[in-house]
Amino acid sequence: MTKPDDDLEYEKHGGFPVFEPADPGPGFGPFLASMRQLQDLAVSADPDGDTWVEAAARVDELVKLLAPFEAAEGVGPANRVPALPGAGSLLMPPYHVTQFDSDGVTLTVQFSRFHVGGNSAVHGGVLPLMFDSTFGMVIHATGRPISRTGFLHVDYRKVTPIDTPLTVRGWVREAQGRKCFVNAELRDPDGALLAEANGLMIRLLPGQP
């Protein structure tokens, strides 16, 4: 990011900490990929009762393995590895950034069984999450300081499919002092508009969380 010449508060980021990218080592990427597969199976598998008991026991073992290493926000690598899908966060759909500059951001994303709301369509509540994250990236890409979401409005134009490579694009529509109005859209491989969003991002004041 570059500091805007007229923004004397840029470096303060309100009271929000500045998280640096993480380098967790070669095992974290495969771990995330396996966890995404596990999420898909957790909502789609239909084994017998004994298999569920065994699966629960194996998950308990994984919890016991990782529990001693629980860390504070910004210390663990989740959401701090830009090279990994979803920046290394299981909360986010596995997106990849293809454009990140003053004109805005473009992402590719593919939703899976874990994100289904019904009838093989992506749950409507997942799309605001994707758009909100896109808005945050737009703020960074366009050189504005840390901001919080003031509002986010989504219009659903078509059913969003799973297992299909989609494109998300976000850009600044207008900026007024602390306020930044952002737009975003989600399109399928043929360019059809699936959903679009508009929102308000508000720059944090010094000390504001």
Q: List, as one string, the DSSP characters of 40-108.
A: HHHTT----HHHHHHHHHHHHHHHHHHGGG---TTTSSTT--TTSGGGG-TTS--EEEEEEETTEEEEE
Output the pTM of the full model: 0.91
- Torsion angle defined by CA atoms of residues 124, 128, 130 and 134, in that order, rounded to the nearest 10 degrees: 150
Nearest Cα neighbor of 89 from 43, 22, 151 is 22
* Per-residue pLDDT tens digits for 38-75: 999 999 999 999 999 999 999 999 999 999 999 999 99
- pLDDT (average), residues 6-27: 75
* Per-residue pLDDT tens digits for 18-46: 789 999 999 999 999 999 999 999 999 99
- Torsion angle defined by CA atoms of residues 193, 168, 13 and 202, in that order, rounded to the nearest 10 degrees: 0
- One-letter identity of residue 179: K
Domain-by-domain residue ranges, the chain? Answer: 10-203
Domain 10-203 listed as CATH 3.40.50.300: no
Nearest Cα neighbor of 152 from 201, 103, 185 is 201
Q: Are 88 and 32 in contact (CB under 8 A)?
A: yes
